[in-house]
Amino acid sequence: MNLVGAPIDRVDGRRKITGTARYAAETPLPGLTYAVMVESTIPAGTIAAVDAAAATRASGVIAVLTYENAPKVEQHKVAGMTDRNLPLLQDRIVRYDRQPVAVVVADTFERATDAASLVRIRYDTSVPALSLAHGSGYHPEHSHGDEPSVYERGNVDAAFAGADVKIDRTYTTPVEHHNPMEPHATVATWDGDVLTVYDATQGVFGTRSRLAVAFGIPPANVRVVCPFVGGGFGSKGSAWAHTVLAAMAARAVKRPVKLVLARPQMFGSVGYRPATIQRVTLGAKRDGTLVSTLHEVRSQTSIFDEFVEPSAELTKMLYAVPNVRTINTVVPLNAATPTFMRAPGESSGSFALESAMDELAYAVGLDPLEVRLRNHADSDPSKQLPFSSKSLRECYSVGAERFGWSRRVPRARSMRDGGLLVGMGVASATYPTNRSAASALVRLSSDGTAHVFAGTQDLGTGAYTVFSQVAAEELGIPVSSVRFELGDTNFPMGPVSGGSQTTASVGNAVSVAARSARDRAIGLALGDPQSSLHGHDADAIDVRDGRIFLRDRPDVGDTYAAILGRHPQGEIEERGDARPGDEKTAFSMHAFGAQFAEVRVDPELGTVRVVKMVGAFASGRILNAKTARSQYLGGMVWGLSMALHEITRTDARSGRIMNANLADYLVPVNKDVPSDFEAYIVPEDDPNVNPLGVKGIGEIGIVGAAAAIANAVYHATGTRVRDLPIQPEKLV
Ligand code: MOS
């Protein structure tokens, strides 16, 4: 194995840089029309009257759809973790600010935009439910997957009551919106009862199911195409209203329709990370050993659907604690339905848990790294299973070494750089390794190249590249001889690209398909009297550079091109299927990491700058060190953003989101990210997790990052900020 692991450039890099990679909104179709959504301006109430006359009369307008004339479609979800109830112009009820209430279709985008501004809607408003802190909530059945929303092992109350040292704190995280560079976009076209949709999505098959349900047609009648995604981060993991509305509009006007969300609409109906209020109590012995952990999570959902931010899942397994209770409560609000956002649960939850661990370290007078080491879980205490592999200790030591943790003076507010306060913080990271059934198809041609197909997605992560590497490795051909295609429901089925599962799921399918294509080509050669390999034993064969040869006599061989050139069809095709085995019952599977941050705080202005950040992560086998590092760094940057920048603000009286744009919703720019910012790959060999030995890497980079920065801010200032983001006014 030599190609796999190589830090090669993205195979799709050239297409992206030259603009020839085609994103959903760029799909050219003859007769294309343009749809623009009109959104509600109140969070709760009913539509009293719609005046669409001016919009309908405006030049170029083809249709104005409202609840009064929209075709009937199914708006309730049917199945699946990613499916959502959608507001599809089926009734006059307004359930949240920015809910779609009309769709205008015109012959140009500008005319559609203009006409959308002419739609007049009068509302009867009702009192919105807006308070997470005071709203009435309930315990959902599950916090995540099959996990119960109320969990306890041991007896937390008794252990906490008897603990030498007690920490009892509440941490809060705000609503955050994903805002990928590429806004959500859909181009929809009907041919009779057959629908084709070009959609920015993390799951072509999930979107296909949702559209089939909405229109009451068989999934086979829906094709979803998505060769490129400009970032998703969870927001494109579900099919949202605009995708169905685009298809509805296309059917109504009998022409293809393009619907692209404007940036402010990215704060409307495409999900977000819900706000959380998290109480964490830690009971410990004087030596820092934990005896109990309580993690209560209160998060918001919408009044018409349920999403649970599973912030306490990591608390169940991260440390060796005998007594643990975790509780999820969701509070339905007049807000859009939240969704998965990069490391859903782990990112928000690690801020609370890893801040509390830092508070414990000061309370017992220990180095924060030492407290974590003393509570290291050698096996998973929640599942009572061994880890498939775990290199957290190595992550701590590699991270501490590269960061220079030994420079840290233990006491808070004890380090200075001129007039600035200096602080250093650490936090643990973990993310579960997920995997779903996936398939791939490999076609080997007589020109010696391989064409590989899989119904998966590349969110910008590098999926095209690593899957090309896996196929090339198994086939014994150069990466440049592989053409990989994805993002189409006409290809073999793959799961949603969420939960950091794409490589573990699809990579193993590509590996199986490529290996069986290789084996079939070998079989053809061995059985072909015209081949110099005729009659030899398959066990004696090796493949390299597109040539099949005898391991002991490399001069005796045959090329794929020659073998397939003699084959009647001129090509062979093999399908590979991979699905989770019973590893889940034998092992707990997680990636682990350690985050280190150094800050400078201006004591008069309260401004925080991160000057150095080091992450060290162990995620099994790394297929491409370059794209993997980018994933880790991207997650860490987002952690910095979570710590210092991001918050979606809702006006408490009107219930309207006030900063739905990238001027007022702050995200980091290059200057916010220090040049001293590095992610290290800790080597890890995991023979148990799946055949390729890969764990997910897309999400772990954000986990713990905000806590490491918050802990550094405390170390610098002596002020503990438990409410994200850490803004200057909270420090002065
Ligand atoms: Mo990820 S938030 O599961 O797309």
Which of 296, 346, 699, 729 is the catalytic position?
A: 699
**CATH architecture designation of domain 13-17+436-579:** 2-Layer Sandwich (3.30)
From 493, 440, 467, select the one nearest 206 (Cα to Cα). Answer: 493
In tens, the pLDDT along 325-368 reads: 999 999 999 999 999 999 999 999 999 999 999 999 999 999 99
**CATH architecture designation of domain 31-127+181-231+236-267:** 2-Layer Sandwich (3.30)
Centre of ligand 1 to C-alpha 237, Å, is 7
The dihedral of CA 37, 41, 43, 49: what is its sign? negative
DSSP designation for 183? P
In tens, the pLDDT along 209-226 reads: 999 999 999 999 999 999
Q: In the Cβ-directed half-sphere of 539, how many Cα atoms lie within 13 Å? A: 0
Question: For residues 563 and 525, is the Cβ–Cβ distance under 8 A?
Answer: yes
Single-letter amino acid code for the residue at 517: A
- Which residues contact residue 567 at a Cβ distance below 8 angstroms, ignoring those fewer than 6 apart? 446, 524
Ligand 1 pocket test: pick from 699, 700, 702 the residue with the most ligand atoms within 8 Å of its Cβ: 699
Centre of ligand 1 to C-alpha 639, Å, is 15
Pocket of ligand 1 (CB under 6 A): 202, 232-234, 237, 340-342, 344, 498-499
**Predicted pLDDT of residue 2:** 57
**Predicted pLDDT of residue 3:** 65
Centre of ligand 1 to C-alpha 500, Å, is 7
646 in active site: no
Low-confidence residues in the chain, pLDDT < 70 = 1-3
Centre of ligand 1 to C-alpha 167, Å, is 31
Closest C-alpha residue for ligand 1 atom 4: 234
For residue 101, CA distances in Å to 19, 84, 109, 250, 610 come to: 34, 18, 18, 17, 43
**Predicted pLDDT of residue 4:** 75
Residues linked to residue 597 through DSSP beta bridges, in sequence order:
425, 613
Q: What would the DSSP string read from start to end of 372-384? A: HHHTB-SEETTTT
Q: Which CATH class is domain 148-154+273-434+585-730?
A: alpha beta
**Predicted pLDDT of residue 1:** 47
B/e letters for 18-41, b = 16+ CB within 10 Å, e = fewer, are: eeebebbbebebeebbbbbbbbbe
List, by residue range, all CATH 3.30.365.10 domains of the chain.
13-17+436-579, 31-127+181-231+236-267, 148-154+273-434+585-730
In tens, the pLDDT along 296-314 reads: 999 999 999 999 999 999 9
**Predicted pLDDT of residue 80:** 78
- Rounded Cα–Cα distance for residues 426 and 405 (Å): 9
Ligand 1 pocket test: pick from 308, 342, 503, 700 the residue with the most ligand atoms within 8 Å of its Cβ: 342
